Amino acid sequence: MSTTLENAVQRVRGRASRPRPPLSRVFRNKFVAGLVVVIPIVITVKSLWWLFSYVDGLAQPLAVAVIGRPVPGLGFVTTVAIVFLAGLLFSTGPLKRLLQLLQRRVWQACKVLRLIDQHLRLILQRCDLVIDLLERASGCQNVLSVIVGIKHN
């Protein structure tokens, strides 16, 4: 076997050391990882802020009508009570079954998405192999001998 063919076989089998990914790919991966962490936090904070603003907008006029003056912190306390009550109802109360049904549906969707992800990764790996073979062909190497060498080993 020629050294080029041996290198191709080793590369396909994963024995050869892989070259370092380009800096743009590393930057992109780290950026996406940061988004995966930051976006849920921002959505949670923004949702709680919206809920607090909405509840405070309802509670303060009610407090003025009942007590005669605004009560500082009433919107915050009411928001905490609403979030706690929602957690209580969805974890032990009558809405627990609804939450379980939702979780089951989400779990099924995650399984389908995981399967799609696996298939796409496999396709991308095959595309990398085809690109490698095409690069070798453009370098005047015999692509058929590379393919035959890979299949026999």
Average model confidence (pLDDT) across the chain: 78
* Per-residue CA distances from 68 to 63, 71, 74 (Å): 7, 9, 14
pLDDT digits (tens, 9 = 90+) for 63-96: 899 988 888 889 999 999 999 998 888 888 678 8
pLDDT digits (tens, 9 = 90+) for 47-67: 999 999 999 999 999 989 998
* Per-residue CA distances from 137 to 65, 91, 123, 142 (Å): 83, 61, 21, 6
Distance between CA atoms of residues 130 and 83, nearest Å: 54
* Full DSSP string of 83-119: HHHHHHHHHTSTTHHHHHHHHHHHHHHHHHHHHHHHH
- pTM here is 0.49
Q: How many residues does the chain have?
A: 153
Q: What is the pLDDT of residue 55?
A: 92
